[in-house]
Homo-oligomer: A and B are copies of this chain.
Amino acid sequence: MTQTGTLHGVGVGPGDPELITLKASRLIASCPVVAFLSADGKPGLARAIAAAHIAPTHLELVIDMPMRVSRDDGAAAYDKGAAAIVAHLKAGRDVAFLCEGDPLFFGSFMYLAERLRAFFPVEVTPGVASPMAAAARAGVPLCARDDVFTVLPATLPDADLMRHLPQAQSVAILKLGRHLPRIRRLLARLGLLDFATYVERAGMVGERILPLADLDDAQAPYFSMVIMSRASVAA
């Protein structure tokens, strides 16, 4: 009888390959199967971040996830990915699923874990999340003392953003995309634009960091965010 394998959600950090943890590096080395998402045939960033830890002896399990799909198509792709992982787990092979940043912070891993958690052991190795990496590169504090820190997807409606933005000392705004000009406008309307920094590809090739007020772009790539910081660091 074969013991079933364990599914590991492994956070590989926000982009700089040196921001992977010792634990992630050890787990990848010890799992015979390394799984990762591929968007329209192109392996995602997680595979690139972890490249130095993947050996020719690893079985690489590519899970195809078409970009900009409907929620139903996404669910079908996760079903298919989960089935491919199950085959390995049933054969007793541990699987390391590579996640950009942290697995439980806007990570696709959660959809796979949700499908498999009842049937197989699932473990999560946390990673450095993107807001921390962006703040480090921009040199802005996230929170201190009794500060409130909020993470907002730019995809939220104006009313939600207008309610959340003034209530926190610091905010990381993710998923900017075509919402970038709207975010800029809302922050300006709230008098918060001067506290906002735009960070693109933090710690990676092509890094761009500038005050949001100085940015005229009509849209932002996936690996970007706005950090609005009024953290209570004085003293």
Seen from chain A, the residues whose Cβ lies within 8 Å of a Cβ on chain B are 11, 13-14, 16-23, 25-26, 71, 74-75, 78, 102-107, 110-111, 114, 117, 122, 124-129, 132-133, 135-137, 139-153, 155-156, 160, 163-164, 167-168, 231, 233-235
A-B contact pairs, 22 of them (CB 8 A): A18-B22, A18-B23, A19-B21, A20-B21, A22-B22, A102-B128, A102-B132, A102-B142, A104-B141, A104-B142, A106-B147, A110-B231, A114-B233, A124-B135, A124-B137, A126-B133, A129-B129, A148-B151, A148-B152, A148-B160, A150-B150, A150-B151
Copy count, this protein chain: 2
With both chains docked as a complex, state the minimum distance between the C-beta of A91 and any C-beta of chain B, in angstroms: 24
A136 near B164 (CB under 8 angstroms)? no
Complex contacts, A150 vs chain B, CB 8 Å: 148-151, 168
Q: A19-B125, A22-B22 are in contact. List 11 more A-B contacts (CB 8 A).
A: A16-B23, A19-B22, A20-B21, A21-B21, A21-B22, A105-B149, A111-B233, A127-B132, A146-B156, A148-B153, A167-B167
